[in-house]
Amino acid sequence: MSGQCACTGEPRLLVPDVGTIVDVRDETASGDVKTFRIALDDPQAEWRHLPGQCAMVSVFGVGEAMISITSSPTRGWPLEFSVKRVGRVTGALHDLHPGDKVGLRGPYGNHFPAEEWKDRRLVFIAGGIGLAPVRCLIDWCLAHREDFGHIDIIYGARSPGDLCFKTDLFDRWPREKDTEVHLTVDEGDQEWTGPVGFVPPFLEEIGPSPENAVAITCGPPIMIKFVLQTLARLGFTDDQIVTTLELKMQCGVGKCGRCNIGEKYVCVDGPVFTLSEIRELPDEF
């Protein structure tokens, strides 16, 4: 499959390059999720990533955090990172503006094996900020639309104001060939006319067929737990279900030990795993 960026830089796994924030976009009404577009100051250092990979973003004087790359490789640089304010580093990142400098190194981890899904139907299931890493894959698949079958995008958030990537959800993705977007919220408001309810029962109501399909899910752990149960009832096998464990990543190079589960290191062997692979992990997980 073609469509990769023409990047010439080598991966930077240990020493960050300096980048500049070129744009900041609020994704939610509360402002707790923002998308940052970051360009490297040295274009010759631009490296290539694959859908599902992460990068380490540094806020100078504060620290660094492992963050999923939100933009598709087909779009090249600047890269996009959608970040929820949850701690010291992400809070400091939220306080930055276009023109501010950050550090960037990567890419880390494996990727969604979309090259193995040719001609298969794709079912994307995400909740909240979990749409961020999935968005990268969705855009990559849409850039290679002829290689895949029907695409369902099933997404939920706490409220209409918490839905991320509204232009994608309401405008860009629904216009794509043989692509359906299904949205639900935990609690509606006076202007919301769509479905109200949690993602797992919404998924069961939609009832995507498992025949020649792959299901990709990302979101809060409690959502994923019940999504997996729902997919099983719909007839999806463990090999047909793919998810990510990037919340456990820290150093990115398999040295700090924070993300090891048995013999697996999420930052090296993941963050993308099939459910079959996850079931082989020790009970501690």
pLDDT-derived band at 284 (thresholds 50, 70, 90) equals low
- Count structural domains, the chain: 2
- Is residue 130 included in any domain, yes or no? yes
Q: Which domain holds residue 68?
A: 12-108
- Please give the pLDDT value at position 3: 46
Tell me: the pLDDT tens digits for 34-79? 999 999 999 999 999 999 999 999 999 999 999 999 999 999 999 9
Q: Is residue 203 part of a domain?
A: yes
Give the domain CATH number at 175.
3.40.50.80
Task: Assess whether 52 and 86 both reside in one domain.
Answer: yes
Mean pLDDT of 217-223: 94
List, for residues 129-167, the tens digit of each pLDDT value.
999 999 999 999 999 999 999 999 999 999 999 999 999
**Same domain membership, residue 175 and residue 204:** yes
- With tokens 């993308």, the residue in question is 272
**Do 149 and 239 sit in the same domain of this protein?**
yes
Q: Which residues of 212-224 are buried (b: 16+ CB within 10 A; e: fewer)?
A: ebbbbbbbeeebb
